[in-house]
Amino acid sequence: MARKIRSGNRGDMLLGTLDMLILKTLLPGPAHGHTIAHAIERTSDEVLQVEHGSLYPALHRLEDQGLIASFWGTSENNRKAKYYRMTPGGKKHLMVERSRWQSLVEAVARVLGPVTELRE
């Protein structure tokens, strides 16, 4: 199913892509929701804007699938926050999805051809 999430004024992003980006963000270690969203936005040079209405359902879905696990901790602001960490299954899933994503990107690039073809 190709449901979409908003990614700012630059268009839409496929929902599965957000899952992959969340997993990639958790690869170095645990983080809470706000940090995950900010990391995706910062790493994409603010092209991708992760809305909380998309982020938290994705986090719950990933947790239900056993790809991430959550625990309560204290945030940088000394507030109680729910943190998420990747499970071993999540790491395997990320590797598979990243490979699929790379194949998709390469296939689309082949169809689109060189940028010079588009210039007149």
Please give the distance of CA 114 from its chain centroid, rounded to a whole number: 28
Q: Give the contacts of 8 (CB within 8 A, at least 6 positions apart).
A: 46, 47, 48, 49
pTM: 0.81
- Note the pLDDT of residue 30: 97
On the question of pLDDT at 9 being above 60, the answer is no
pLDDT, tens digit, for every residue of 49-97?
999 899 999 999 999 999 999 999 998 889 999 999 999 999 999 999 9
Give the pLDDT mean for 44-51.
92
Query: From 1.10.10.10, 3.30.70.270, 2.40.50.100, 3.30.470.20, which CATH number describes the 4-118 domain?
Result: 1.10.10.10
Report the alpha-carbon angle 53-50-20, nearest 5: 100
Q: Is residue 4's pLDDT more than 80? A: no
**What residue spans define the domains of the chain?**
4-118
